[in-house]
Structure 1
Amino acid sequence: MFLVLSFKALASEKLTGPDILFSINTAKRLVDQAYKLYRERAKENLRNPHLTPSDFLRHLKEPVAGTRTAIRAASYMETALDLLRQKLQKVWHRRFNITDVLSIQQKDMITRATGCDYLIRPVRCPQNSPYRTITGECNNRKHPHFGMSNHGYARWLPAEYEDGVSLPKGLIQGQLYHGHPLPLVRQVSNEIIGTPNEKITDDQERSLAFMHWGQWVDHDMDLAPMTETSIQNQDVHCDTSCNYTPPCFPIKIPPGDPRITKPGVCMPFIRTTPVCNPTTFIREQLNSITSFLDASMVYGSEEPLARSLRNQSNSLGLMALNQNFTDAGLGLLPFESNSNSICLYTNRTANIPCFNAGDKRVTENLGLTALHTLFVREHNRLARELKVLNPHWDGEKIYQEARKIIGAVNQVITFRDYLPLVLGNEMNKQLPLYKGYNDSEDPTVSNVFSLAFRFGHGSVPPFVPRLDQNFKPLVPYSNVLLHLTFSASWRIIMEGGIDPLLRGLLADHAKLMKQNQMMVEELQERLFEQLELIGLDLASLNLQRGRDHGLPGYNAWRRFCGLSEPSDEAELAAVMGNSQLAKKFIDLYGTPENIDIWIGALAEPFVPYGRVGPLLACLIGTQFRKTRDGDRFWWENPGVFTPWQRRILSGASLSRIICDNTHIQEVPHDVFKMNHYPSDFMKCSEIGGLDLSQSDEN
């Protein structure tokens, strides 16, 4: 105790107000220089004729607008704290955490001077606004930052870092956890995950639309951006470095790797960007989009992006469409304005850039692009119909009303059609009937959910099916290998538009996640592979991401959910229902306590009628309950819509949206269940639609 008090006294003496301000100003200068260098280097990289798989991943996670400001503030704070630590280290030669010795006044000074006080500034919310803000701010009037974009993920359990503050577990070789070292993530991937493309099992009860809707919903709720800016070592290159040099946390390759045999090679990995944490200064990750189910992937989570996505040529409340191409007369998404668009590199002769949408990941795969296109068309269809019914409305009113309906429809489809097929028998337990808005419920997406909801990676098949009007393979474009469709916007323009893709989603199978078939080779070995370049391993990325985020291990989350905690191989075998798999886990991790949350949760047998195990059912169900109950604009909350409007919205369906916005004329009633053509399909005329005639009763 005496040592702590004497150190605090020393810190107070050595870190005066001017000292702290000098460190902050130095930090700002270093950070600004690093960001300038990074931007120049990124531009130079895009002139390179051969992009790496990491370049594609960077593009999908690249921060925009206000996210960049939030990231820079966090960098200012992190760098200033590091400079202050270095200053004290010269006179205090023991190990310490700088945050333990700063006074409340000193912390407040750092928070304000770095701009990190944006997280805690008081907000005055309007009393009677009928529409959501784009950023999610003021959804909760008591806690205006709940669920807002560019804030940190929620923590349901405390973070576990190597140093208690920011260093990821597994960083120090030989370090023991519960008496055992952590295995290399690539070793776990090799021994438990990998499945050759030709050895997968089709899911006989879930369609490809089921898999894609999961990703669609995920992209509505969370995006953890990353930036390769290095403050302390500006010569670091995460593509080539095998050393831990922030922000690089390279994935080391185990001996005898089946694919990567060259010595001294690592798989690149960039840490998720931290967010300011003015309370404890412990590293937290930034969620750059809103936590609400509000269709932010259509409209954006920041005002400048939202405005740029609208059709500014008239006052009809429409979304902007592509000015160069149509899809057999129907609208396509506009192109992004970047002259070095990464999509140009997937087909140099086509010269087609990436599409622009409310979420940066729009062109990650073709099914996702098809859903984005579908909902922008649906917005415009609704806007035109609302204008006819309400000719006195201006463009802003039409835009907001159409946006409100699109958000509600996504909520209906997700809770009525999608989640019951995920959670199975656990649905009613995890998501009891809606009882109304609860302003004490925090809907902020949790850090663990950002990993748990990646369960869908186990249901991705290796091929992208495209079907013709008769639901037969579209020759010659059917069944392209998945890795050849990443960021390939040109395939939408030049290979038949979105109709063939949507038919494939309706009439083809999702992959069945099995304990011996967890992830296809296309994702585990060829992620973002283009041409001859070595692809990334999505399983290794997921495992490394969990450690990057400081997520506790498998048993900690079993305890959180009130489930049993296996303590040895026999008990783990009972939980997994698989003694061979349990042995693999124990051989790798030594104890169930150490198993990385993503792989441990994914490996559990499904709950009855679901597609996740008990642990994932708990984590996913808990998040969606908070997302629903903590949303003031939830479609069922009285006052958001009239009773008549709620009755109409309850009948909304993805089938009808497809009918209304494509040339497809036959659809199944339930798109997420596996359907066979023609026996399980019906004419569009048999599918009910939304009656907007009483869209506004005020």
Structure 2
Amino acid sequence: MARYAMLYFGTVGLCVISSISSMDEDSFLNTTSITNLIVSSYQESLQTLVEKAFQSRQRRSSRAPSLGGFTFGQQAEPETLEIGRAAETFHSTLQVLDQKLKQRYKRDITETGLLSWEHVELLAELSGCPPPAHPAICQDSYLSKYRSINGVCNNRYNHFWGAANIPLTRWLPAQYEDGVRQPKGWNAGRLYHGFELPTPKEVSKKIMGSSVKCEDDTYSHMLVEWGQYIAHDVTLTPQSPAAGKPGDDCLNSCENVHPCFPIQVHDKPPNGQGCMPFNRSLAACFNGLGPDVWQALQQQQMNSITSFIDASVVYGSSPKVNEFLRDLGGFNGKLTVNAHFRDPKGRAYLPFEESLQSVCLRGREKAACFRAGDGRVNEGLPLIALHVLWLRQHNRIAETLQQLNAHWNAETIYQETRKIIGALHQMITMRDYVPKIIGQESFDNYIGPYGGYDPTVDPSASNVFATAAFRFGHATISPLVRRLNQSYQEHEFFPSLKLHDTFFSPWRIIKEGGIEPILRGAVGKEAASVLPNKLLADELTERLIVLAVPQDMDLASLNLQRGRDHGLPGYNDWRDFCGLERIRTLDDLKEVVSDASVAERILEVYKHPDNIDVWLGGLVETFLPGSRTGPLFACLIAKQMKALRDGDRFWWEAEETFSQAQRKELGNVSLSKIICDNSDITEVPPDAFVFGKYPSGYVSCDTLPPMDLEAWREEKSQDLKRCGSPGQIDNGDYILLKLAGKLVTLYSCYHGFRLTGGDALIACEGDQWSGKLPHCEDIL
């Protein structure tokens, strides 16, 4: 078992244990005795966690394979799971420590001043949390050329800001029932302002579900689809895998046993379970010094992808995923494409996921899933279509850049193309999408014109943005996925589909007309409108498909439970945060909701205004003029978007990111033009987000301004002419840089290899490259 513990949780902290565990515990509580208690608590916690993990592995190996056992699209990357396990060890140790303190000293771990920062750091080290990196690692000037794939070192002084696998930031402290990690609603009978919280299912059934969705004649459904797509570029909160006693796998238990937090269903169906399964979000590791010790001890949730709008949805947020998506063997800077299928014009599709756990649906049959930079790509057909567009756009640009700059190697072509694709994601989102969502007035007040990169701004995604505010779009999802022909009418051969028939069905793209019918349906049909009495379509509250769960789920309940899982403060606290007046009475609520009957139902269900969940409260507010959100969500979304822009050193408008000529060409591009260039669609609205009834307002693709990549033409430098092309290495590549006035080659290896036997940096000296050519050694 000890060997298994080292394999499962690593060996971090063993040297600390050996130097501390021999100390005698003092009879009174001081720094030394607390240290001893931390070590003994860690050892007890580790033993318990290892036993649970071992039992879980045994159960999985004895269980027959079935669809319910597959969770493709929700699987966290190994490094994410490793950090999550360390965080789980941290909090498990904290629980044991709290019990010891109460039993032996009648002290509570929540007492101010009881634990110091040194104690917190010891807990983190023992648990296996990644140590803080030295700030000097981000100071090298060559880090200025391209952003890292995992977001590290975007900020040279706070190198984890915005990076993958860090905690979602807290704009307000978490509110847990035990102060540390127990979600709201964890303890039966717990009262909030004199009342129990309603179950999420009760809120969903009495307030949120709707059998009818009205249409918004201002914006197209593409506004909805882009919202989901760009949300997947900014946040992904992985779920915690269960590792407890038999029955605690969250599918077969209705008890709150960590990490299971089931959603209670009081009117359960015949022969059905009295709950919907729910796994809590994966915990994040303590991440450096903060405002106080207590906040470091509270459970935080992880963003497993980069927070930046950087097209990580295309390229991934880890070296392993990134290189799995690249066509490294083609030496052309392109992304890999599907080896089995193309559309009738020879255009590429996304490659298939090769994992054995890749299980998408074709009726009752299992089918292959597509692979992309984000694992949620297969959730719906419009989402897949957008992923296909950007795959094709990358490869089109890479091919043109290779023709313009024959002296560029594959790595340079790839990185320059990735840089352009990221810029287009930023521009379409901030210029064309965000003002329509929060309204131009809110955009001007909260975000304003770009003033350049600000290294004091933390661009990390916030918990309330990821878990509540940016989920406003769930209420705009239509119960139908429209498929239209060339005249933007119902398709003769591939009719529109009910939403639940499109979940995890990528085969429909290949076998049923490609991406064109779906894209026409997105730009050629109105978005669903949001009314307080018509929030989420029944397709989402009654028939949501989650591959890992063998029963229909309810998106509204899942969102409400997720907010409670994360300890989000209530609706009124966030109104305070945004400088809005608190809701104290029914009349106050009626003023912000605009539908008196809905306001009455909300207070009837919640009993007290301070009990209202922030996602519901923000969703029912009356829209601001020219927006699709009320004042609370406009504030929270704007605050996050401003941080993503101002705190990104590689933002497309930053002075050093692109030349003036390149910025001008990027500014010509629209989502409509990208649709034209990468599909068989020939007529589009100039703005893909604005609805127009065909043919009124539609234009020929030929009339839309292109992006002239001549602005990226780069003449071969005199240094490169003198020294020639640098040596190529197997399982790695290089980029060219100017350092201290010299042309320098920076070598790096692909994932799974490390540089050895030579110099990472080789300079052009005279007419030759100085230094020894390195090679890449396999480390897997």
TM-score > 0.5 by shorter chain: yes
RMSD: 2.5
**2 CA distance for matches of 1:262 and 1:8?**
57
- Change beyond 3 A, Cα 1:122–1:655: same
C-alpha distance after superposition, 1:144-165 (max 9, x if no partner): 1110000001111111110111
- Change beyond 3 A, Cα 1:238–1:655: same
- Change beyond 3 A, Cα 1:109–1:185: same
- Quick check: 2:282–2:302 contact (8 Å CA) kept in 1? yes
Does residue 1:419 correspond to 2:423, yes or no?
no
* Within-5 A mapping of 1:166-315: 166-196=181-211, 199-231=212-244, 233=245, 235-254=247-266, 257=267, 260=269, 265-277=274-286, 279=293, 280-315=296-331
Query: Which among 575, 580, 589 is matched to residue 563 of structure 1?
Result: 580
CA drift of 1:265 comes to 1.2
Q: Which residue of 1 aligns with 2:333?
A: 317
Which stretch shifts more, 465-474 or 634-643? 465-474
**2 CA distance for matches of 1:397 and 1:34?**
47
Q: In terms of Rg, which structure is larger?
A: 2
- Quick check: 2:372–2:387 contact (8 Å CA) kept in 1? yes
Amino acid at match of 1:63: A
- Change beyond 3 A, Cα 1:138–1:594: same
Query: Which among 38, 47, 55 is matched to residue 65 of structure 2?
Result: 47
Secondary structure of the structure 1 residue equivalent to 2:164? coil
CA drift of 1:420 comes to 1.4
Query: Which among 545, 550, 555 is matched to residue 538 of structure 1?
Result: 555
Which stretch shifts more, 685-694 or 66-75? 66-75
Does residue 1:518 correspond to 2:549, yes or no?
no
- Change beyond 3 A, Cα 1:399–1:43: farther
- Quick check: 1:11–1:101 contact (8 Å CA) kept in 2? no
Does residue 1:158 correspond to 2:141, yes or no?
no
**2 CA distance for matches of 1:216 and 1:73?**
30
Does residue 1:373 correspond to 2:382, yes or no?
no
CA drift of 1:470 comes to 2.7
**2 CA distance for matches of 1:9 and 1:544?**
42
Secondary structure of the structure 1 residue equivalent to 2:243? coil
Size of the aligned set, in residue pairs, is 679
**2 CA distance for matches of 1:268 and 1:223?**
20
CA drift of 1:622 comes to 0.6
CA drift of 1:16 comes to 5.0
CA drift of 1:123 comes to 5.4
Amino acid at match of 1:274: A
Q: Which residue of 2 aligns with 1:497?
A: 514
Secondary structure of the structure 2 residue equivalent to 1:203? strand
Amino acid at match of 1:160: Q
Q: Which residue of 2 aligns with 1:480?
A: 497
- Quick check: 2:247–2:253 contact (8 Å CA) kept in 1? no
Runs of 4+ in structure 1 deviating by more than 6 angstroms, as ranges, are: 43-46, 529-532
Query: Which among 9, 28, 34 is matched to residue 9 of structure 1?
Result: 28
**1 CA distance for matches of 2:633 and 2:199?**
23
CA drift of 1:100 comes to 6.6
* Within-5 A mapping of 1:581-620: 581-620=598-637
Amino acid at match of 1:417: D
Secondary structure of the structure 2 residue equivalent to 1:144? coil
C-alpha distance after superposition, 1:90-121 (max 9, x if no partner): 43467654997444433322222222143565
Gap runs ≥5 in structure 2? 1-24, 288-292, 716-780
- Change beyond 3 A, Cα 1:319–1:30: farther
- Quick check: 1:238–1:270 contact (8 Å CA) kept in 2? yes
- Change beyond 3 A, Cα 1:589–1:226: same
Q: Which residue of 1 aligns with 2:406?
A: 391
- Quick check: 1:63–1:227 contact (8 Å CA) kept in 2? no
Secondary structure of the structure 1 residue equivalent to 2:376? helix
Gap runs ≥5 in structure 1? 1-5
- Quick check: 1:667–1:683 contact (8 Å CA) kept in 2? yes
- Quick check: 1:363–1:488 contact (8 Å CA) kept in 2? yes
Q: Which residue of 1 aligns with 2:343?
A: 327
- Quick check: 1:194–1:517 contact (8 Å CA) kept in 2? yes
C-alpha distance after superposition, 1:343-400 (max 9, x if no partner): 1x44455x53111111110001111011011101100000000000001000000000
- Quick check: 1:27–1:76 contact (8 Å CA) kept in 2? yes
C-alpha distance after superposition, 1:41-66 (max 9, x if no partner): 55776822x53xxx67x433320132
**2 CA distance for matches of 1:474 and 1:37?**
52
Amino acid at match of 2:125: R
- Quick check: 2:232–2:374 contact (8 Å CA) kept in 1? yes
**2 CA distance for matches of 1:25 and 1:98?**
23
Amino acid at match of 2:297: F
**2 CA distance for matches of 1:43 and 1:541?**
29
**2 CA distance for matches of 1:20 and 1:551?**
28
- Quick check: 1:484–1:529 contact (8 Å CA) kept in 2? no
Secondary structure of the structure 2 residue equivalent to 1:693? helix
**1 CA distance for matches of 2:237 and 2:59?**
22
Secondary structure of the structure 2 residue equivalent to 1:124? helix
Q: Which residue of 2 aligns with 1:673?
A: 690
* Within-5 A mapping of 1:639-678: 639-678=656-695
Amino acid at match of 1:629: D
Q: Which residue of 2 aligns with 1:3?
A: none
CA drift of 1:86 comes to 4.1
- Change beyond 3 A, Cα 1:311–1:270: same
User: What fraction of aligned residue pairs are identical, expressed as a percent?
Assistant: 41
CA drift of 1:15 comes to 5.0
C-alpha distance after superposition, 1:251-275 (max 9, x if no partner): 1113xx4x74657610111111110
- Change beyond 3 A, Cα 1:128–1:340: closer
Amino acid at match of 1:486: F
Amino acid at match of 1:640: T
Which stretch shifts more, 532-541 or 120-129? 120-129
**1 CA distance for matches of 2:665 and 2:54?**
52
**2 CA distance for matches of 1:172 and 1:546?**
16
Which stretch shifts more, 641-650 or 570-579? 570-579
Which stretch shifts more, 78-87 or 165-174? 78-87
**2 CA distance for matches of 1:265 and 1:498?**
40
Q: Which residue of 2 aligns with 1:550?
A: 567
Amino acid at match of 1:68: L
- Change beyond 3 A, Cα 1:370–1:33: farther
Secondary structure of the structure 2 residue equivalent to 1:510? strand
Query: Which among 26, 42, 45 is matched to residue 24 of structure 1?
Result: 42
* Within-5 A mapping of 1:448-487: 448-450=464-466, 451-487=468-504
Query: Which among 73, 78, 84 is matched to residue 97 of structure 2?
Result: 84
CA drift of 1:676 comes to 1.7
TM-score (norm 2): 0.83
- Change beyond 3 A, Cα 1:44–1:396: farther
Bigger relative contact order (CA 8 A; separation at least 6): 1
C-alpha distance after superposition, 1:302-358 (max 9, x if no partner): 111101110022211000101111122111111111123221x44455x53111111
